[in-house]
């Protein structure tokens, strides 16, 4: 047969590479990046068609998507605040604004959930000059070793314009 040595050589090379790769995975294990996720959804728990204005003193229904992409169960604290563009959180530190409401949830490894939340719109003042406020949700995780909540650096927000309630 013409080329049978070449075919045998290619097959031997494939088997050798596959064996080395399998041995490496068995010794080192498969590495998964661990992270926490948060997402903002509308009142129907879908992406899009978010409210653009809110009435002070009213409440607003939204949904928050949470995901634990870790190899262990995690205890989460979801914190709601109202901020402006000067007091938004960052990946390094939470917003300095006062928490208005919070939710606690435990997620198993690689589990996700969507929470329906009703939030109060109590503070419609803004120092940013934009006329908009930010409805902020920060994600915190409980650190059992230190017996404290740790800011994950994950957060979402929705800018809305405060509106005055129309009296008929």
CA distance 135 to 79: 11
Longest dimension (CA), the chain: 94
- The confidence score (pLDDT) of residue 41 equals 96
C-alpha distances out from residue 47 to 43, 50, 51, 64, 65, Å: 9, 8, 12, 11, 11
Q: Whose CA is closest to 135, among 122, 147, 145?
A: 122
Averaged pLDDT, 129-145: 90
Among residues of the chain, what percentage have pLDDT more than 90?
63
Confidence label for 7 from pLDDT (cuts 50, 70 and 90): low
- The confidence score (pLDDT) of residue 106 equals 97
- The confidence score (pLDDT) of residue 33 equals 86
- The confidence score (pLDDT) of residue 5 equals 72
| Domains in the chain: boundaries | 1-31, 35-163
| CATH number 1.20.20.10 is the correct assignment for the domain at 35-163 | no
Averaged pLDDT, 39-47: 95
For residue 132, pLDDT over 70 is answered with yes
DSSP letters, 47-61, are SS---SEEETT-EEE
- The confidence score (pLDDT) of residue 146 equals 95
Averaged pLDDT, 71-81: 97
pTM: 0.77
Confidence label for 165 from pLDDT (cuts 50, 70 and 90): low
For residue 23, pLDDT over 70 is answered with no
């Amino acid at each position: 047969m013409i080329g049978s040595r070449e075919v045998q050589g290619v097959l031997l090379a494939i088997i050798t590479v596959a064996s080395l790769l399998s041995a490496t995975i068995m010794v080192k294990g498969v590495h998964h990046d661990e992270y926490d996720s948060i997402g903002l959804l509308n009142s129907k728990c879908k992406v899009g068609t978010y409210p653009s204005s809110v009435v002070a003193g009213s409440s607003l229904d939204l949904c928050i998507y949470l995901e634990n992409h870790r190899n262990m169960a995690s205890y989460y604290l979801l914190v709601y605040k109202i901020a402006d563009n000067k007091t938004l959180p960052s990946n390094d530190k939470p917003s300095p604004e006062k928490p208005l409401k919070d939710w606690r949830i435990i997620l198993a490894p690689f589990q996700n959930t969507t929470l329906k939340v009703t939030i109060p719109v109590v503070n419609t003042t803004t120092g940013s000059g934009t006329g908009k406020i930010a409805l902020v949700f920060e994600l915190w995780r409980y650190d059992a070793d230190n017996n404290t909540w740790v800011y994950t650096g994950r957060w979402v927000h929705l800018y809305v314009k405060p509106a005055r309630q129309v009296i008929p």
